[in-house]
Structure 1
Amino acid sequence: MAKQSGIIPLQGTIGNITFYKTKSGHLAREKTSVNANRIATDPAFIRTRENGAEFGRAGKASKVLRTAFRAMLLNIGDSYMASRLTREMVKVIQADATNARGLRNVIDGEAELLKGFEFNNNSRLTGALYAPFITAIDRVAGTLKVDIPPFVPVNMVAAPMGATHFKVQAAGAEIDFEVETFVNGNTASAELPIDATPTAVMALTVNVTANSTKPLFLALGVEFYQHVNGTMYGLKNGTYNALALVDISGM
């Protein structure tokens, strides 16, 4: 595809060129002469069909995971997050060493490859919260935990301009990618001032099904607020809030 650079951006089709608008700007691309029926039946396109099948599974798996963490993601401002997560989910599927190409899936892949995924590229957890933390997933008990020793917020939290308070939160999910269902939960600290007062120990625990045989995901995030006349206000539609997958137990 090509990016339009003219004074007047075009939309529509002229000859074999289609002009359209995206979040990245006004683009143009040449229409393909290959129709959908040929791609679906022609042996020459078997690799295309295999790639399409696996990409479709990645898209569905990405949607289920996003839905499981929806309560947290409502306060995250990254319009490209869904496409980034789908791209990483493709890598999970491609790590499946059991099934043939085109039949590979998330269950037989490596869900652990998603560890460290940042849901907000505009504000990454690794750049927002510098306090050390310890994670633990107990599959037998069905608990997902994050323990954070005391820290001084003004030193260990990279707050955006205007923020006076922050909140640390954790979320956990047990996901069945085959039937597209999940069990989830979340917990959070109080809204704490960004000052030189050390925090108390934070022990954030989320419960899911005990003895689960499904992949388990643990996310940690930080949200920022501005305190004005007794009321806490979130900052700029979640642009500065961070959330990342910090631990995963696949099967």
Structure 2
Amino acid sequence: MAQQESIIKLKGRIGDLTFYETKDGYQARQVKGVSPQRIATDPNYQRTRENNAEFATGAAAAKRLRDTLRPMILLTYDPKMPARLFSRVMRVVKADSVSDRGERQVLPGNLGLLSQFGFNVGASLTSTLFVVPECTVDREAGSVTLNIPSLVPSLTIGAPKGATHFQFNFGAAVIDFDTEGEGNGSAIAMAESGTGLLNVETFAPTTLTAAIPAASELPLFVLFGISFYQEVNGKLYPLNNGAYNPVDIIRIDVV
């Protein structure tokens, strides 16, 4: 075991060396990790292999979600969202009560655990919009419709300071969680309202429709959000790069 003789006193780890203090002074030792081969074959690491397998399943499913929903996610901003989404997806994986440990999957019946997930932790839909839109799904026709009732913006929209206009954003996506398969049937369709002034007396009822693959049996995710803008010299600019825009999963439909 190495012992430090210089006047520089270190504690902690640098690379594969750990520095620590003992009654005999400051010492250093090399940290030896467990080899990948041992983790893959040693019976003592069975639980580690199982955890790693399910971690990979959750990571692949979360990435599939992010990739498919990316056009809606880009409307908002939350740098910690990927970690939050992965954590929620792992709850779905662990809810699998059928498969053996280490082989648990993202099952359609457990996807409800992702409902109401907000892609912006700093701006939730429930604290921004105080009316409830009505969502209708017609899988056979491949149509998802969102009806937003007439509203008074000053009373029903919690707009951030500096915003002058708003816009409703709507997305419907079918997600193929078979990440090991040859194909990827995931797809997303989006619709948006016209921009509205926040200081008008009434904003008319709005109907938004998104087309999904007809008769699809894949899990369906419905997203809804609000974008805020600031008018400067007749032009509309996104307010703070979307930091105030909520985008939430408002419905999950499975067959």
Q: TM-score range by the shorter chain?
A: 0.7 to 0.9
The residue type paired with residue 200 of structure 1 is: A
Alignment of 1:220 onto 2:227: no
Q: 2: CA distance between counterparts of 1:11 and 1:163?
A: 48
Matched, 1:116 2:116: yes
Cα separation, 1, equivalents of 2:194 and 2:229: 12
**Equivalent position of 1:153 in the other structure:** 153
One-letter amino acid of the structure 1 residue matched with residue 245 of structure 2: N
Distance in structure 1 (CA, Å) of the matches to 2:116 and 2:248: 6
Does the alignment pair 1:70 with 2:70? yes
Q: What SS does the corresponding residue of 2:236 show, helix, strand or coil?
A: strand
One-letter amino acid of the counterpart of residue 75, structure 2: N
- Are the equivalent residues in 2 in contact too, given 1:93–1:108 (CA < 8 A)? no
Q: Is the 8 A contact 1:142 1:211 kept in 2?
A: yes
State the superposition RMSD in angstroms.
2.1
The alignment's TM-score, normalised by the length of structure 1, stands at 0.85
- C-alpha change, 1:205 and 1:31, in structure 2 (3 Å) is farther
In structure 2, relative to structure 1, the CA distance for the partners of 1:181 and 1:83 (3 Å cut) is farther
CA distance in 1, matches of 2:79, 2:119: 10
Q: Is the 8 A contact 1:123 1:240 kept in 2?
A: yes
Residue 33 of structure 1: how far off its partner (Å): 3.5
Question: How many positions carry a matched residue from both structures?
Answer: 230
Give the aligned partner of residue 15 of structure 1.
17
Determine the C-alpha separation between the residues in 2 that align with 1:77 and 1:195.
25
Residues 136 and 247, structure 1, Cα contact 8 Å, conserved in 2: no
What do residues 77-130 of structure 1 show as CA deviations (whole Å, max 9, x unaligned)? 101101111111111112222221211111355112111000000111111111
Q: Call closer, same or farther: CA 1:126–1:48 in 2, change over 3 Å.
A: same
2: CA distance between counterparts of 1:88 and 1:109? Answer: 15
What is the aligned partner in structure 1 of residue 243 from structure 2?
239
- On the 8 A contact 1:98/1:108 being kept in 2, the answer is no
List gaps (5 residues or longer) in structure 2: 1-11, 20-29
CA distance in 1, matches of 2:141, 2:153: 32
Residue 24 of structure 1 corresponds to none
Q: Which amino acid aligns with 2:229?
A: Y
Q: Which ranges in structure 1 are unaligned for 5 or more consecutive residues?
A: 1-9, 18-29
Conserved? CA contact 1:112–1:250, under 8 Å: no
CA 1:235–1:215: 2 relative to 1, 3 Å: same
Does 1:191 find its partner at 2:176? no
CA contact (8 A) 1:54 1:104 kept: yes
- What is the distance in 2 between the residues matched to 1:98 and 1:14? 41
Structure with max Cα Rg: 2
Alpha-carbon deviation of 1:56? 0.9
Match of 2:56 in 1: 56
Distance 1:196 1:237 in 2: 24
Q: How does 1:5-154 map to 2 (within 5 A)?
A: 12-13=14-15, 15-16=17-18, 33-107=33-107, 110-154=110-154
